[in-house]
Structure formats: C-alpha cells, structure tokens
Amino acid sequence: MLFPQRKGDRGSPGMYGQRTALCTMATEIEAWLNANHVAAEALSDSSPSGEDEKVETTKLDNEMNGNWITSPTVTIHEARVKAKAKRRLRKNSSRDSGRGDSLSDNGESTRSPLVTPTSPKSKLLDRKSRSGKGRGLPKKGGAGGKGVWGPPGEVYDLEEIDVRDPNYDEDQENCVYETVVLPLDEGAFEKTVTPIVQEYFEHGDTNEVVELLSELNLGEMKSGVPLLAVSLALEAKASHRELTSQLLTDLCGKVLSPDDVEKSFDRLLRELPDLVLDTPGAPQLVGQFIARAVGDQILSRNYIESYKGKVDCEHARAALDRAAVLLKMSKGGLRIENVWGTGGGQRPVKQLIKEVNLLLKEYLLSGEVMEAERCLRELEVPHFYHEFVYEAIVMVLESKGETTLKMILQLLKFLWESSVITVDQMSRGFQRIYAEIPEINIDVPCAYLVLEQFVEQSFSAGIIGKRLRDLCPCRGRKRFVSEGDGGCLKLESC
C-alpha cells in the first residue's frame, strides 16, 4: 500500500507512509498473537528446526506481502506461525497420501498418484509374524497346504507315554488292539459263501477260495462249507464235482479240520431226502463224494463202518453202500481219483486227443450213435470238437473199406443235426484236413481220392456247404495207363 508524501519531507518518495503502515501492522499482529496465544501453540507440535527458521526468517526479511520489512520482531513471530502451520499441513498430507485426493496450499483439490501406504494402519494387512518367535520360514517346511499331511518322506515317531499324565493308565501299555470280525449267522453265511463257490467253478483256483474263507469269521458254520459246496455240485457237471472234491482236500487242514468234514457229511446224509427232490441221483453222487473223501484221507476209513446198523433212511443207506462198493473196487485197481471221470477243458491237449480216439474206436466197434454222443458231451470241451472232426476224417482216410466212411458220415450227420457240433467246429475240422492232406498223402497214397469222395458225400448229406466243398484240394495229375487202353486218360488210382 502507498501513502501520499507530505510536503517538505526528504528521502525517497513514500518512505514515511510505509514505516507508519508497518508500525501499525506490527502493533496489530502483537495484539492478535497475545489474544490467540493458545491457538498458536496448538498449531505447533514441535519447535521449528534451526534450518527451517533460518529459511523463513531470510525470506521474511526480504519481503512481506510485497513490501520490504525492517522489523526483526515481527518477522520472527510471523515466521513461526506460518512455519508451524505448513509443517502441520505437510504431516497430514503425508498420512493421507495414497488415499486419493488432497488439498493444496491454496485449498484446491488435487489428485495425487497412488503409492504404497506407509501409515501404521497398513500393518493390518501384513502377514509377517510380530511375536519374534518365527524365523520367516513357511509353515511345515512348505507342506502346510490344504489336504497335505506333511512333507514327503517324513516319519512320525511313536508318542511317548507320560507317566505323570492324569489320564495315564498302567494297563494301556499291555493292551493289544485287534480287528474284531463278528461270526456269520446262517443267512449271512449262505449269501457270502455261495458266490465264492460258484466263482470257484469258473476259475478252479483253490488258493483264492482258501484266502477268501480265511478272512471270514465262520465260527460254528465251518462244517457248512463242505455241505454247501457238495449241494451246489450235485446240480452241476461232473467237472464241477471233481473241482469240489479237490476243494475239500485243499481246505482240510487250512480252513477246516477233519471233525468239520465229518460233521458236514453227517448233515449231508440227514438231508438226503430233501436233496433227492431236486437231484434224483443224489444218493449215488453223495456216496461217490464219501468214497473220494476217504481216498483223499480227509475222512477216516472207519466212517462207513460206524453207520452199520444205525441207518434208517433208505437214501442214506444207498449212499453208504455206493461208497463201500467203490472203496472195495479201489483195492482191486480202480483209482478213486477218477471217480468223476475225466471231463473238462483243464486237462492237457494230448490227453484230450487220446480220449477222442478211444471214443471213435469204441463207436466203430459198437455202432451206437447215442452212446458216442453221450461220451462226447461228457468230455465237456465244446471248443475242442474240431479235433473230433479231424480225427474222424483221418480214420476214414486210413481205412481200407467203405464201412468206416459210412459210419463216420452217419455219426457226423447225427451230431450236426443235434447241434452238438457247431458250424464253426465242423468247418475248422475240414480245413485242418485240407491243410495237412499233403503230409497225410505220404502215408496214405489214396488220401486225395478218398477225401474227395468223403467231402462230396458230406455235402450231399448237408453237413458242409458248397463253399467248403469247393475248397477241397484235388490232385490234378493224370497219366496214360498203357498202349492197350487206346490212349485214354484216367485218374490216378491207388
């Protein structure tokens, strides 16, 4: 602000007015400071540093609201007030940094860039341990995730028993913990053991049955295992009865005792009247089981004699008589091991081929087609019937007359019409002959001619089709017989 210069004053123009204005301003500031002394102290939370005071003092010495200042007292007080206010503003703005907007010195809103918070409130998001116990390592060595039991390869030691524990019991050290399996009752026994025996008829592995029965708590139902197995075998094939006899032999000593086997056959003899209703030949079959058990030494030889004069049931008496007869025949050379015959595909191939040859020779001697069919079915090898067809045709090729050809043709036609031999097995038998006819012809010179004749008659009888007939190999070489034949060609004869 400029004041008019009085007349007669010397010096620079306006100097007197400036001094008067400054004196008046200093008086007003002093009065304001005295009146607002408490408010001025509230603005400051610490004394100004010497460097800040020096800067502010230097600045106020030079200029104050656009006017030059010469009063040091006014400069110090004004500098303190402004410096404290600015420090207070800077401190608040630094705490609010990163929160978005802040106020400038002019009171205008400015948008500051986002920075990482440095206030104490940011420690709430810090997961670092403040207790001083941790070393900054991950929990459980890095194996503390969800669903993880611990680091791989970690071995947990046995927990030591603390004697001073109030819950300590001296008897705990001598305790032995075992899994308790409740014994099976009659209903559960039949539902559990029946599938095991039926599955055994398919695979024939006695070791698997022993393992499965060992896991069960049979209790008093041990004697029911042979009874159930024999009851199922009575309605099955001869091969299944042979498997049942083998199973009883392998179970005795591992799962069953001789007393259990004896009790089982006692119950079997008592239940024969009910078994006959489903299986009319049950007495004879049970007698064979008893004879086989005595031969396998799982029943004592005095078992049959202990029933003499004590049996009232007709069926039980028939079973014991059958067993006694078989045991007497075994002393004369009969093998009890073959009491069920030699059926099933579990035998060696050489033995099956031998059985087929014996069957064909017996048929050529007797000529009974029905008996041959029954013997073939008892072999229980429907997948091996192509060997039967092959051996039958070989017998025809090796024979010298037409009788064998007609009998074999009649047998094959009967087996074809009764569906005992399928299309596939019949075709495979003929194809095997076609492939091996060159080797057969070495021993049988007339093999090609006889084969053509047999194939043609088989086609006429409806045993084979036209396609299989056309595949029959023939010997195409022809020769002149002699000059007296007039040069006519004829088929090679034997």
349 pLDDT above the threshold of 90? no
pLDDT of residue 40: 45
90 pLDDT above the threshold of 80? no
Please tell me which residue, 69 or 416, carries the higher pLDDT value. Answer: 416
C-alpha angle 49/50/53, rounded to 5°? 90
pLDDT of residue 7: 44
411 pLDDT above the threshold of 70? yes
The tokens of 171 are what? 């008897």
Average pLDDT, whole number, for the chain? 76
Among positive and negative, which fits the CA dihedral 227, 232, 237, 243? Answer: negative
Q: Which of 227, 232, 235 is nearest to 267 (CA)?
A: 227
Among positive and negative, which fits the CA dihedral 374, 376, 382, 386? Answer: negative
Please count the CA atoms within 13 angstroms of the CA of 400 that sit on its side-chain side. Answer: 0
* Model confidence pLDDT, tens digit, residues 255-266: 999 999 999 999
- Averaged over 180-195, what is the pLDDT? 88
494 pLDDT above the threshold of 60? no
Residue 12 pLDDT grade (very low, low, confident, very high; cuts 50, 70, 90): very low
* Model confidence pLDDT, tens digit, residues 204-255: 899 999 999 998 888 888 889 999 999 999 988 888 888 899 999 999 989 9
- Averaged over 166-192, what is the pLDDT? 82
3 pLDDT above the threshold of 70? no
* Model confidence pLDDT, tens digit, residues 319-338: 999 999 888 887 654 557 66
- Averaged over 26-35, what is the pLDDT? 66
- Flag the least confident range among 161-165, 233-237, 415-419, 446-450: 161-165
> For strand 109-111 and strand 478-480, is the pairing parallel, antiparallel, or unpaired?
unpaired
- Averaged over 382-407, what is the pLDDT? 90
φ, ψ of residue 469 in degrees (nearest 5): -65, -40
pLDDT of residue 247: 93
* Model confidence pLDDT, tens digit, residues 110-143: 554 544 555 454 555 556 656 666 666 666 666 6
- Flag the least confident range among 14-23, 404-413, 481-490: 481-490
pLDDT of residue 285: 92
Task: Write down the residue that tokens 């030494």 correspond to.
Answer: 297
* Model confidence pLDDT, tens digit, residues 50-82: 444 444 444 444 444 444 444 444 578 888 888
- Flag the least confident range among 54-58, 205-209, 425-429, 454-458: 54-58
Whole-prediction pTM: 0.48
C-alpha angle 213/259/319, rounded to 5°? 100
- Averaged over 20-44, what is the pLDDT? 59
pLDDT of residue 251: 92
The tokens of 415 are what? 């087996």
CB distance 303 to 294 below 8 Å: yes
Residue 2 pLDDT grade (very low, low, confident, very high; cuts 50, 70, 90): very low
